[in-house]
Amino acid sequence: MLRNKDMAIYLSLICVTFLWGTSFAASKIALHELSPLNLAGFRFIAAAIIFGSILAVKKSRIYQEDIPQLVVMGFLSITSYFYIQYTGLLYTTSINASLLLATSPVWTTIVSIFIGQEKINRNAIGGILLAFLGVTIVISRGKLFSLFMSETILGDMLMLLNAIVWAIFTLYGKKIMSKYSPFTAVAYMNIFGTLMLLPIILIPNPLNPTSAIEQLSSITLPTIAAVVYLATLCSVYAYYTWYKGIARIGAVRTASFQYVSPLFAFLAGILLLSETISPFMMIGGIMVIFGVYLTNKQKANLTCTKGS
């Protein structure tokens, strides 16, 4: 029988998967008025302020020699990651985005095998093949021979690139994530990643022609609500709860909750954005999730920590 404390953390983790699943719909709402970089900037400025306050209260410190690596991790997990993700969301559906981004553990396994950090096995082979077949079905909506004619192909390719960036971040950051408490490492990564966003969003440039200050004066209440939702709940609360779950019930059990996230993305896409799901998308989505499960089976590493 589950203890009350365990029941509470299970419910909290379901809440986290709901937040991460619905974050794609919230992001698409905000992208009606904000550029991808400005949305990332507003979200993570707010999150960084909260993370910084928590670090100050907890008096969490990092060693000076680890700052360069945390800066690179901040660039990979915040600055570049969310620029790619939000740009991709302009050209694909929130449902596609959630499923394609869910392949990041598959890419982590592929890169690990390629660089010799992990041996290939039957689970990995089967999971990788199943996940990629599912990805192909999702992108093509069942029309396999017209894959690159899909209306969402640009956004879908960016989402797959996003998953690859996360895989690189995962492998690059393993030592740091084991050296500090995960929350401390994530908090500093958010702060460093945000600092790198600031000059890009404040000064007009080819990547971001309209500065954040210019767009700030014209945003409406739904966009403000979406940014607050993403910053406070999807970033700070979700990461804090996720790592609390890892500490309480272990990484493997906590990781199992990530498979529920696309379901919430499906529901949010349908209810909030009037997106549609075809039978082929359902079949492809199930194949992606089961393929990721096989690839990630009995593994407990940083692939458990991906959020949105």
Conformation bin of residue 118: beta by default, left when phi > 0, alpha when psi is -120 to 50: beta
Note the pLDDT tens digit of each residue in 194-206: 999 999 999 999 9
Q: Is the pLDDT of residue 240 over 70?
A: yes
CA-angle at 80, arms to 169 and 134, nearest 5°: 65
Question: pLDDT at position 302, please?
Answer: 46
Is residue 51 a contact partner of residue 238, using CB atoms and an 8 Å limit? no
Note the pLDDT tens digit of each residue in 87-136: 999 999 999 999 999 888 888 888 888 887 777 788 788 888 888 888 88
pTM for the whole structure: 0.88
For 22-36, 78-92, 152-166, 274-288, which range has the lowest pLDDT when averaged over its residues? 274-288
Q: Is the pLDDT of residue 180 over 70?
A: yes
Distance of CA 166 to the CA centre of its chain: 8
Structure tokens at 40: 């990332």
Place of tokens 């989505």: 285
Q: Is the pLDDT of residue 2 over 70?
A: no
DSSP conformational letter for 75? I
Determine the angle formed by the axes of helices 4-30 and 80-89, rounding to 10 degrees: 60
Question: pLDDT at position 301, please?
Answer: 47
Note the pLDDT tens digit of each residue in 40-67: 999 999 999 999 999 999 888 899 999 9
Is residue 249 a contact partner of residue 6, using CB atoms and an 8 Å limit? yes
Higher pLDDT, 249 or 24: 24
Q: Is the pLDDT of residue 15 over 70?
A: yes
Question: pLDDT at position 159, please?
Answer: 94
Question: pLDDT at position 92, please?
Answer: 94
Mean pLDDT within 55-82: 93
> What residues contact residue 269 under an 8 Å CB cut-off, 6+ apart?
24, 25, 93, 94, 95, 275, 277
Mean pLDDT within 27-35: 96
Query: pLDDT category, 147, cuts 50, 70, 90?
Result: low
Share of the chain above pLDDT 70, in %: 92
Question: pLDDT at position 306, please?
Answer: 59
Mean pLDDT within 15-30: 95
Share of the chain above pLDDT 90, in %: 49
Alpha-carbon distances of 198 from 208, 211, 304, rounded to whole Å:
11, 10, 29
Does residue 159 sit in helix, strand or coil? Answer: helix
Mean pLDDT within 251-274: 84
For 12-16, 142-146, 245-249, 257-261, which range has the lowest pLDDT when averaged over its residues? 142-146
Buried b / exposed e over 233-262, threshold 16 CB at 10 Å, is bbbbbbbbbbbbbbebbebebbbebbebbb
Quote the mean pLDDT of the chain: 87
Question: pLDDT at position 173, please?
Answer: 83
